[in-house]
Amino acid sequence: MENKGSWTVADAVDYMGRPAEKSKTGGWVPAALILGIEIVERLSTMGIAVNLVTYLMDTMHLPSSTSANIVTDFMGTSFLLCLLGGFLADSFLGRFKTIAIFAFVQLLGTGSLALATKLPGLRPPPCHHGEHCKPASGFQMTILYIALYLIALGTGGLKSSVSGFGSDQFDDKDPKEKSQMAYFFNRFFFFISMGTLMAVTVLVYMQDEVGRSWAYGICTVSMVIAIVLFLSGTKRYRFKKSQGSPVVQILQVLAASSRKRKMELPQSVAYLYEDAPEGLRVEHTDQFHLLDKAAIVAEGDFDKNLDGTAIPNPWRLCSVTKIEEVKMMVRLLPIWATTIIFWTTYAQMITFSVEQASTMERTIGGFMIPAGSLTVFFVAAILITLAVYDRAIMPLWKKWKGKPGFSNLQRMAIGLVLSTLGMAAAALAEQKRLSVAKSVTTAHSKTLPISVFFLVPQFFLVGSGEAFIYTGQLDFFITQSPKGMKTMSTGLFLTTLSLGFFVSSFLVSVVKKVTGSSGNGQGWLADNINHGRLDRFYWLLAVLSGINIVVYMICAFWFKPRKGKGAVEMASGKGFSVEENC
């Protein structure tokens, strides 16, 4: 008789809570239904983000610096909320319910945004270039903020669970399904890239030429269809039990060590508490002695169970293994901190660079390239970089060094260098654009006689840097974190994206305030960039990025990597960008 374990998945159940049968659950069809949600999410979020700054300036009549900060705050919040979505999925809801709930939240967001851009009462009256334009009222901005942050909330919840729930549809203990899982991720990244391309080309073009409400309406209808398809596969999905949030473990170690901070550590590690099975124990290290105090056995550390047996109170006593896992997360923090600046430079590509493009000559024949569509060069740079790395750099590196490509730390370093060069290229391009702006005598002309393709180098350099740093970061945070904290470490990595956008907003506000009293009173980041010195802001970012590279190198030499195979390779189509996954 056939063993039951051969036709069921050991660690998964169906929608009724019964062991999931391989023939009736999981596989390509359910995975494709899940993938549809993520494609629509990418289409909506990126289609909105890359062209939002032009709407805020041209329609809502906001200053350029304010518009840039609204965009970066929106993107930063989207990535920060991935932590909330991951916590809810791990601790309470599970991935299926998290996806269903937050897909509906994003549906409300895109629907609200479609209405906000359609109804005349929700935007200020139009005005012509050169006139004094009335900015959006507090009520109008409140409605816009509600729509944007509903979308951000939906994005955070979806991105935290979609790829994980998709991988749950394949049994990694079955060789055939394990190979299907790898193929699924290749297709996952490919189709999301296509969603991003559609967002920055077709959707942005519709926003500019047909109408934003129509474009956002398409996003809304697409999400409705994606949700219906997603729910239709409920009976086919495999559900895996949540393991609990590692945040709780970290808080327990911090609470226990803080409670015992005045106690003396024993002379031998053998006297510290340990209850992990022999094969799962993590060897004790000498760093961060304060955390070791959480393993000191003291009076009151044990509670009585119902049968009278003593069990440790996890908020008072933690095992050496749990403490070491927290230490491993702490060791990631210096690298984490020194990669934030990359995403600060990235933020300029979807804010000020789009504003630069809106003032430049963008026609090819009779076709006008939308300013927001310049971000298509990001995708092109990523794809070209990955292809060159896969087909040329990796074979040469393996022949020369005997290693299959750069390490994750090396990839991150390359990304930081490329982004620094990208800011320098952006500064030079802006100097050229400003010189043309000063020579133009027609005050009412919005388009300067300078080609938008002067901006291509900065898009390509930062885009190529993204290809290296994103895969390097993800590889680093997955392979160097404890086994039980992979989700947590991925969330930690994603906070670098979030904080990078928030740092951009902070820098813009500081520069605006500090330089606002100079020259014509508008400073480097003038309401009209033709009257400002955006090039100096770019040079500031280039200098800060250069200093950051030095600090990163020091941290990289200090860090001692764990031995093991990298989790993310940049070959065989497995590299991907920030627009593609969370």
Count of beta carbons in the 10 Å neighbourhood of residue 537: 25
pLDDT of 429: 93
Residue listed under structure tokens 């993310």: 568
pLDDT of 390: 75
* Torsional sign, CA 112, 118, 452, 198: positive
pLDDT of 24: 84
pLDDT of 375: 79
Residues 6 or more apart in contact with residue 481 via CB below 8 angstroms: 328, 329, 332, 488, 489
Check if the beta carbon of residue 419 is closer than 8 Å to that of residue 462: yes
pLDDT of 531: 85
**Burial bucket for residue 251 (CB in 10 Å: 0-12, 13-18, 19+):** middle
* Element of type H or E holding 478: helix 456-479
Domains of the chain: 11-242 (1.20.1250.20), 246-325 (no CATH), 339-500+547-576 (1.20.1250.20)
Tell me how far apart the alpha carbons of residues 419 and 63 are, in angstroms, rounded to a whole number: 26
What amino acid occupies position 430?
E
HEC string of 189-220? HHHHHHHHHHHHHHHHHHHHHCCHHHHHHHHH
Check if the beta carbon of residue 364 is closer than 8 Å to that of residue 288: no
The pair of structure tokens assigned to 26 is 């999981």
pLDDT of 578: 40
pLDDT of 562: 58
Q: Which of 551, 105, 407, 122 is nearest to 97 (CA)?
A: 105
The one-digit pLDDT tens for each residue of the chain (582 residues) are 344 445 777 778 888 888 888 888 888 888 888 888 888 888 888 888 888 888 898 889 888 888 889 989 998 998 888 888 888 887 788 889 999 999 999 999 999 999 999 998 888 888 765 567 888 899 999 999 999 999 999 998 888 788 778 878 888 777 777 777 766 765 666 677 777 788 888 888 888 888 889 999 999 999 999 999 999 989 899 888 766 677 888 899 999 999 998 898 988 888 898 888 877 788 888 888 899 999 999 888 888 777 777 888 889 999 998 888 888 888 889 999 999 999 999 988 888 888 888 888 888 877 788 887 887 888 788 878 877 887 888 788 777 777 767 888 988 999 999 999 999 999 999 999 999 888 875 545 578 888 888 999 999 999 899 888 887 887 788 778 776 676 667 777 888 888 999 999 999 989 988 887 655 556 888 878 888 889 999 999 999 999 999 999 999 988 876 554 444 444 333 333 344 444
Tell me how far apart the alpha carbons of residues 459 and 350 are, in angstroms, rounded to a whole number: 10
